Amino acid sequence: MNRRSLAAIAGIGELKPERRTFGATTLELIAETVRLAVEDAGLEKDDIDGLLVGPQVGETPQHVPATVTEYLGIAPRMSNVVDLGGASGAGMVWRAAAAIQMGMCDAVVCVLANHREEQLPRSPNRNPIREFDVPFGASGANISYALPMQRHMAEYGSTPEQFASIAAWARQNAQLNPNAIFYGKPATVEDVLASPIITSPLHLYEIVMPVAGGEAVVVVSPERARTLKHAPVHLLGAGEKLTHRAISQAPSLTSGPLKFAMAQAMAQAGVTVDQMSLLSFYDCYTVMVAMTIEDAGLCEPGQFGNWLSERNLSHRGDFPLNTHGGQLGFGQPDLAGGMTHIVEAVRQLRHEAIGRQIENARLSLITGNGATISEAVALVLGADE
């Protein structure tokens, strides 16, 4: 073969078509189809490190890759929903090839399935979040993030003051961003601790403020970027990992899949965390930042509080963190909240962050987090040398 092969289809799985299914869920059909394809390829389940699925999974309206990941018992390094109607299957194949070429993963399973039944009850024993979480009150984000925070305090002796300092820094950085929802409204550690307990041990000011808004970026080739208006900001590395959806199914309550995603992104970029000009860490809750600091290797597990006490997280500091205020200071415009971290990194690397510019900013580590510390993506962005 003279032409370069971009990828190859090594296994197939197919279920016999039926007019209707009885007592089977979409998750069950997905699992059976995946089993057949993996077996046909001569692989084991643990060899699968990439997942592409369709959006129609009747057992969940959102967090589809995490739900399928959990059900299959795999831990992909790349995942996504492909929603292209009848072209979804073909679209999955090239996305899988692209992910493999980028080094994100080695073996991607692409699966589409659909059950047909007039009335399918959403049975809790077919979705762990409805069996082990919701019946005991763990039905929302606040309680789900309070559990890791409580576990961290119990295991390592971390204190409310240490977690509160993360929110205080976010508010302080937001004072230099006129677009931030809390611009003009700083908060000290004492203010954070004086705010109401929402779900013990989480205080109100340790939780993002939902806001309306929007964020966008345009991605082009490096060659074309150099012909456009601004100095290019390059994607140098990426990492991804999923481990669960329901917090009850998390492998750990004090460390998450971002540990792997960040390590992979930095390894691809050939950099270390100490080289970063900006840490742009997803911060839906203070505990998320605490865990990310530790998982990034900035300090030993359980030591984020001591690490923070010796750091200046402003744009003039030794480890600038979320210079736009983060979501805790800027606000969270729903799913666009994670994009605010990317937009701020681009501003800093272009040297366009007026009033809060990091001197000679060259590299940024950005993290994204979905569900409850379960869907993890990390990027390394860099400016031209």
Is 279 a member of any domain? yes
Q: Which residues pair with 53 in a beta bridge?
A: 81, 111
Q: Are 374 and 244 in contact (CB under 8 A)?
A: yes
Same domain, residue pair 103 and 166: no
Same domain, residue pair 188 and 109: no
pLDDT at 160: 98
Domain edge (last residue) among 126, 153, 169: 126
Tens-digit pLDDT profile for residues 206-215: 999 998 888 8
Is 266 a member of any domain? yes
Percent of the chain with pLDDT over 70: 95
Confidence band, pLDDT 50/70/90 cuts, at residue 221: confident
Domain edge (last residue) among 80, 102, 126: 126
State the average pLDDT over residues 34-60: 87
State the average pLDDT over residues 40-51: 91
pLDDT at 117: 61
Tens-digit pLDDT profile for residues 104-150: 898 999 898 877 665 544 444 456 777 777 777 767 789 999 999 99
Is 55 a member of any domain? yes
Is 2 a member of any domain? no
pLDDT at 91: 81
Nearest to 290 by CA among 265, 310, 307, 272: 307
State the average pLDDT over residues 351-356: 95
Tens-digit pLDDT profile for residues 5-45: 778 888 888 787 777 777 788 888 889 989 999 998 889 99
Same domain, residue pair 118 and 147: no
Find the helix or strand (DSSP H, E) in which 102 lies.
helix 88-102
Is 3 a member of any domain? no
Tens-digit pLDDT profile for residues 262-310: 999 999 999 999 999 999 999 999 999 999 999 999 999 999 999 999 9
Is 5 a member of any domain? no
Is 134 a member of any domain? no
State the average pLDDT over residues 352-360: 96
Same domain, residue pair 113 and 180: no
Same domain, residue pair 376 and 231: yes
Tens-digit pLDDT profile for residues 224-257: 888 888 888 999 999 999 898 888 889 999 999 9
Instruction: Find how far residue 166's CA is from the centre of its chain.
Output: 19
pLDDT at 126: 59
- Number of domains present in the structure of the chain: 2
State the average pLDDT over residues 166-191: 97
Percent of the chain with pLDDT over 90: 61
How buried is 299 (Cβ within 10 angstroms: 0-12 exposed, 13-18 middle, 19+ buried)? Answer: middle
DSSP 56-69: --TT-SS-HHHHHH
Same domain, residue pair 174 and 267: yes
Residue 296 neighbours by CB distance under 10 Å:
21
Angle at which helix 258-269 crosses helix 286-295, to 10 degrees, equals 50
Same domain, residue pair 201 and 52: no
Same domain, residue pair 59 and 110: yes
Residue indicated by tokens 């272009």: 350
CATH number, domain containing residue 252: 3.40.47.10
The set of residues, in sequence order, having a beta carbon less than 8 Å from that of 274 and lying 6+ positions away, is: none
pLDDT at 202: 98
Same domain, residue pair 159 and 263: yes
Residue type, 54: G
State the average pLDDT over residues 339-365: 94
Is 352 a member of any domain? yes
Residue type, 120: L
Domain edge (last residue) among 126, 154, 176: 126
pLDDT at 18: 75
**φ, ψ for residue 300, nearest 5 deg:** -75, 155
Query: Distance between CA 275 and CA 346 in Å, rounded?
Result: 17
Same domain, residue pair 109 and 172: no
Q: Are 280 and 173 in contact (CB under 8 A)?
A: no
Same domain, residue pair 122 and 222: no
Identify the domain containing residue 353 by its residue range.
Answer: 141-383
Same domain, residue pair 185 and 95: no
Look up the pTM and report it.
0.84
